[in-house]
Chain A
């Protein structure tokens, strides 16, 4: 392992940071190895304020535009913020077009660019809207003295809650109502949300949707998460959202559901990393073993 590279990254070299993150992403070094050589014990979390915040929601609701505005406010207040922007890999070719960056212009500001780090990440083999390896990349960013890490997930389907496996807090971004109320399928994700933002408040139906969400949370059990209205376009509601999100407490909602996602994510990684996976898939394809047999072979490793 290249200890120099890691030390340079911790001492503030962006190039070495980027290269170390690649090594982690490619599985060439593990976060455990890094902790060991740097003599860091465990995951230093003071649990009160968050280290990582996942921002999730349907494609095109304005996640990137909103994050751009939030980054600029947070960086202006002196925080060093990293953004890990996730986009899907093609399951067929493995390629990916990573385009979230196009919308992030806050990093172009000379006064802010040293306080904002943006890295685009492809989902590669993993299913779900965030690959588990991102958790290790987040940890390294903290070791390298980045105060907070924001994760923009893949524009996700309504039941996609895998980001719960990697982030300390989850913010769900919604758009204006389409007149069908709060759909039942959304329940899974909203149940895990520490805050909900209804973006595009410049369009009609946004306020109504925020009210519907509020009502449905009040019917539920436990504390209702804050529901905020923003327009990334007109820059309204952004300062308040930046303040609320930065100080977002752990809602303590659905602790079991989060652990369920973590468990599933780790189990999936085990399967995907299994050395015999290709052979097992071929056997499944020609019908020489059954799914149950495949699971027991994989589980036995």
Chain B
């Protein structure tokens, strides 16, 4: 696997389910990455400021409460406004199939639901980190086809 990356794992909004985010954070750490966990109930702006100050290359958003349609695109939009266009955004949690294409449209490269094998998340990170134009502000429409 490549070099260690700085990755922010964030919980936007009022959602209090943090097990999944912690599982993912642990997985990424065990794969050799430096993971910054934001804790619960962050606003979109706070998440973007954390990504900026921590100089993270990836941002993972977790939502199980149903607010993803609003919060995920908001985070993407703010990242672009702050000039953080090269940050690669991915997400997971309870995200119905029907909602996913709009999220991809807003710049999210991968979405992982319950039961995702953790290896797949690592494969995504590895693949995306080798691509040059998959940041949230890139024109490229590439997305990861996840199995869950």
Contact = CB atoms under 8 A, between A and B. Distances in A.
B105 interface: no
Contacts, number: 67
Contacts of B36: 98-99, 101, 120
Interface stretch (B21-29, B67-75, B92-100, B113-121): B21-29
Interface residues of B, number: 26
The interface centre, meaning the residue of B26, B29, B36 with most chain A CB atoms within 10 A of its CB, is: B36
B144 interface: no
Contacts of A97: 25-26, 29, 35, 37
A95 B35 contact: yes
Interface stretch (A12-20, A66-74, A223-231): A12-20
Contact of A102 (B26, B37, B82, B83): B37
Nearest to A21: B55
Interface in B39-73: 39, 46, 49-50, 52-55
A95 B54 contact: no
Contact of A96 (B29, B54, B84): B29
A93 B54 contact: no
Interface in A64-122: 89-90, 93-99, 101-103, 107-108, 113, 117-120, 122
B31 interface: yes
A117 to B, nearest CB: 6
Contact of A101 (B26, B37, B84): B37
A93 B31 contact: yes
A3 B130 CA distance: 26
Contacts of B84: 15
B129 interface: no
Interface of B: 4, 6, 25-26, 28-39, 46, 49-50, 52-55, 82-84
Given A18-B52, A113-B49, 8 more contacts: A15-B52, A15-B84, A19-B55, A97-B26, A98-B36, A98-B37, A119-B53, A122-B34
26 contacts: A14-B53, A19-B55, A21-B55, A90-B30, A94-B32, A95-B29, A95-B31, A95-B33, A96-B35, A97-B26, A97-B29, A97-B35, A97-B37, A98-B36, A99-B36, A99-B37, A101-B50, A102-B37, A102-B39, A103-B39, A113-B49, A118-B53, A119-B53, A120-B34, A120-B36, A122-B34
The 6 closest A-B CB pairs, nearest first, are A102-B39, A18-B55, A95-B29, A95-B32, A94-B32, A22-B55
